[in-house]
Structure 1
Amino acid sequence: MTSSAIRLENISKSFGDVHANRDVSLDIRKGRVLALLGENGAGKSTLMSILAGQLQPDSGTLYVEGEAVVFSTTEKAIGAGVGMVYQHFKLVEAMTVAENIILGRKGSFLLNKAAMYRDVQDLANQYGMDVDPRAKVHTLAMGEKQQVEILKLLFRQSNILIFDEPTAVLTPTEAEGLFVAIKRMTELGKGIVFISHKLEEVMRIADDVAILRRGEVVDTLLVEDVSSTADLAERMVGKAVLLEVNRQPLEPRQTVLRVDNLQDEVLKGVSIDLRKGEILGIVGVAGNGQKQLIETICGLKKPRLADSVSLFGLHWKEFFSNRSWDHALSYIPEDRQGLATCRDLDLVDNFLLTTREGFTNGPFLDRAAAAEKLEHLVELFDIRPPNIHALAWHLSGGNLQKMVLAREFYRKPRLIVAEQPTQGLDISAAEEVWNLLLKTREQAGVLLVTGDLSEALALSDRIAVMCGGEVIGTFSVDDTEQVDRIPQMMAGIKQ
């Protein structure tokens, strides 16, 4: 067995009455990938925040090469060789790749740009990364931006790299590039912590697995001792999880959404329609107009022509000037921590953000009634911690997503716009959301925007592929010939 680069010993951390970690002990070894698994709220992010110097443990000790250390800041963790690659990149968009990588480096204020570009290019080549040191960050694809984040840490001589859901924003091709880079890192002696809910990735990339459940390590094992993803899922959630859905065809009914020749600075004549009783999946590489389309449909952005978007037979302006809080439109945004919720409000107030009209009596807001309803939803959706007075930022990303889903489905919408609805959810929660979306289409039309092609094909009745601000093709999921062409369509190749 390779030597331990870092050991976490009896780490505990609580937030009020919530025990995020309980006596957790882990070894992160040189030249190996440790997959850290667990349901939403199991304590993974808290544990890694402690390792990265963002949080301090209530008790327990960190050891680096056998020496006890205290990471009181992220700078101290980085100085000890520990770096974290976050889901949301922390880059300066107006600067070049090389400038981002050396940003904050101690030394002379005057830089030799030629040497800077050469050093960054040599580093990228060493780890098999294809990124131009002179390129402005704002021009890069998501996979390239992630490479910049990784190179920042490698430039700082990080020996332990933590990846938190690293493929959530990547295309399959970009994910392949990441796996190649991780393999190269381990070959050069780096230790990797890999957090993911995509168990196929874990089986492929990991050497060791540690499973957290309710803040405690319940299992540690070698990947070679795991028989299948189903075995891994059962170990993680404590019960068999199949991640199967039974999508029975329904007869589509009245049209709930019609987009006709929608144009703006990105969109180029987009036309789609959605009927009650069906799920229309929008797929494509991020940044190809999905955001502009969704923002216009959901009222965040005004269309140039009011009649280019109709909801329930009403033109865009007519609908949004007098829309009802329930039995109408529900939006589940990708940005659950910024757009969907307010991090410093408790769960009751976050629940009321879109449902308050259902709890008002004249000028008075019946917060007690809202709290009572939310208590039921917290239990129904298994939101942890089950404390309606907890602040939104106290919840893990997955549990916050379940809170948003509970709130929006409570409104009994006839049109649901679901943007990456299972991103960051564990396999058990994802299965519940899939089945909930399928059940909901009995009373609604569902517009599903997802970067997970398998999710789109499992849930959708029809698929629309977007590239370059256009809909390249719209077709039934039963059209196998068109389904096989989705990768080419995502690259902008029309039939």
Structure 2
Amino acid sequence: MAEYVNKRTNRGAFAGQTPFVRLQGISKHFGKVRANHEINLDIRPGMIKALLGENGAGKSTLMSILSGRFQQTSGDIYVDGNLTSFASPKDAIKAGIGMVYQHFMLVESMTVAQNVLLGQEKAFLVSPKEQEKEVAALAEQYGLPIDPAATVSSLSMGEKQRVEILKLLYRDSRVLILDEPTAVLTPTETEQLFEAMWRMADQGKSLVFISHKLKEVMAVADEVAILRKGEIVDEFKESDVPNETVLANRMVGRDVELSLDAQPVEPGATVLDVQGLDGDGLEEIMLSVRKGEIVAIAGVAGNGQKELVEVICGLRKPIKGDVSILGLEWHDFYPRPPRKGRSLAYIPEDRQGLATCKFVDLVDNFLLTTRHSFTTGPFLNRSKAVDTTVDIVEQFNVQPGHIDADARSLSGGNLQKLVIGREFYRQPDIIVAENPTQGLDISATEEVWQRLLEVRNRAGILLITSELNEALQLADRIAVMYRGRIIDQFPKSDTKKVDAIGLMMAGVTPE
């Protein structure tokens, strides 16, 4: 795993200054649900403040209030010591507060410079060369290397993120909120982002870093605030920040394990065999999965993983090559895969869209892929389905545990546990799990990992993940994808290749 060396050069230069932003007594309610309660938080010049908490702890709500998306139910926001209110994100940006979201909001057909200056042009006629020169100078000032003339559609995810940050810097944002910024980055891009963050902080900017990756928090943050159940339960200065284990325990309110002892299982029959899969952005994919093993596909999102998963799960037809699932050719397995016994379960990355229906209750969401187990002819035994859903909710610790609640009322982690419980109930022989812990807190991640390891005893698992630690914790074998190709695949025990995964994710094949 990557080790990051803090490269701050101007630490402490802004000590004692008035906070840019002070949140005082901030509370937010959505109907009867309390998202934030009496939160007090200072955001100071030249400091990187990490914001930690479980899914549903209130981090996103709090930052949405600060960035103008939501208005608080009660409490006050002070900017430069002055009482302020934000009716929209435009008001927050005018006050110098901006947020970089996980899903970028860029115009793909425009250049980097055009995106950065969009809506901010200082004259009616603007020279493209002058735009590019201005953006290049800004990028150099903050250590965000980018080609201002490049079309956004040609950029990597890390480069697109830099454009979003440059948009805020061009608008003279003094507080930058980064929401899970490393989720789509290679290790090299993550290090480049951290160096840019340190440079911004050294120049007096305030940064709020929202992350579930405790190793990164320990490396980059000057201050750490922990939210639990909508309240601040701890704040640490850098000199007082404890180790990762203590941070995790304080987030969750109990002891959690940060690593697993994944004992190997004797592999059985091949449940997935892909030979020469080509087309739709894929290039000569060769891959197999056996019962009793977890094969992880590592790589930054957008390098062909989605297309590969959609072929394997029957959402698109293979153009060229052979795909065999549970001993059946693709065209024999689909479009009507076996429902009982020899089956495939799919745990999509999009848990709030593709995996569930957010406006229906947990019982109907459970029935989305299991209905055949509760029907006789045209008749549905809903009473049995209700009892089974109650059992799954209890067994998989889905909170708050009300089966009549709509899926949209669940946090991401609890919704994911419902999806996993539903798919495991089917007792499949092969499971395709696509970024199953993305955006989940340490507690939910721990539970999901344990469940995947348990089911490996009777199924083969194809794990698609952009998290190196997840691949290293769970996988028996690792395949690295880049631009539609599998760069290499190897057992986890091959330490030399494991050390080179970061390079492979960037398309560099080690000698």
- TM-score normalised by the chain length of structure 2: 0.91
1:99 aligned partner? 114
- Partner Cα distance (1:348, 1:191) in 2: 45
Shift of 1:146: 0.4
Matches within 5 A, 1:39-188: 39-105=54-120, 108-188=123-203
Tell whether 2:338 aligns with 1:321: no
Match of 2:370, SS state, is helix
Shift of 1:64: 1.1
Shift of 1:246: 1.9
2:5 aligned partner? none
Match of 2:334, SS state, is helix
Matches within 5 A, 1:237-252: 237-252=252-267
Match of 2:28, SS state, is strand
Kept in 1: contact 2:184–2:300 (CA 8 A): no
Shift of 1:186: 1.0
- Partner Cα distance (1:397, 1:160) in 2: 27
Tell whether 2:22 aligns with 1:7: yes
CA 1:351–1:69 in structure 2 vs 1: closer, same or farther (change >3 Å)?
farther
Tell whether 2:13 aligns with 1:30: no
- Partner Cα distance (1:287, 1:412) in 2: 30
Match of 2:20, SS state, is strand
Matches within 5 A, 1:90-489: 90-105=105-120, 108-305=123-320, 308-327=322-341, 328-367=343-382, 369-489=384-504
CA 1:463–1:135 in structure 2 vs 1: closer, same or farther (change >3 Å)?
same
Match of 1:120, SS state, is helix
Kept in 2: contact 1:41–1:384 (CA 8 A): no
Name whichever of 264-273 and 325-334 sits farther off: 325-334
CA 1:452–1:19 in structure 2 vs 1: closer, same or farther (change >3 Å)?
same
Shift of 1:371: 4.0
Name whichever of 389-398 and 255-264 sits farther off: 389-398
Name whichever of 360-369 and 162-171 sits farther off: 360-369
Shift of 1:92: 1.2
CA 1:406–1:71 in structure 2 vs 1: closer, same or farther (change >3 Å)?
farther
- Partner Cα distance (2:25, 2:462) in 1: 46
- Partner Cα distance (1:382, 1:79) in 2: 43
- Partner Cα distance (2:404, 2:168) in 1: 38
Shift of 1:106: 6.4
- Partner Cα distance (1:390, 1:233) in 2: 29
Tell whether 2:509 aligns with 1:493: yes
Kept in 1: contact 2:86–2:92 (CA 8 A): yes
Name whichever of 396-405 and 202-211 sits farther off: 396-405
Shift of 1:133: 1.0
Gapped regions of structure 1 (runs ≥ 5): none
Shift of 1:354: 2.2
Name whichever of 166-175 and 316-325 sits farther off: 316-325
Kept in 1: contact 2:299–2:482 (CA 8 A): yes
Shift of 1:436: 1.1
- Partner Cα distance (1:97, 1:330) in 2: 40
Gapped regions of structure 2 (runs ≥ 5): 1-15
Q: Percent of aligned pairs with the same residue?
A: 56
Match of 1:219, SS state, is strand
CA 1:390–1:126 in structure 2 vs 1: closer, same or farther (change >3 Å)?
farther
Kept in 2: contact 1:50–1:57 (CA 8 A): yes
CA 1:218–1:485 in structure 2 vs 1: closer, same or farther (change >3 Å)?
closer
CA 1:406–1:70 in structure 2 vs 1: closer, same or farther (change >3 Å)?
farther
Kept in 2: contact 1:282–1:450 (CA 8 A): yes
- Partner Cα distance (2:83, 2:42) in 1: 14
Kept in 1: contact 2:280–2:307 (CA 8 A): no
- Counterpart residue type for residue 334 of structure 2: F
CA RMSD of aligned residues (A): 2.0
CA 1:387–1:10 in structure 2 vs 1: closer, same or farther (change >3 Å)?
farther
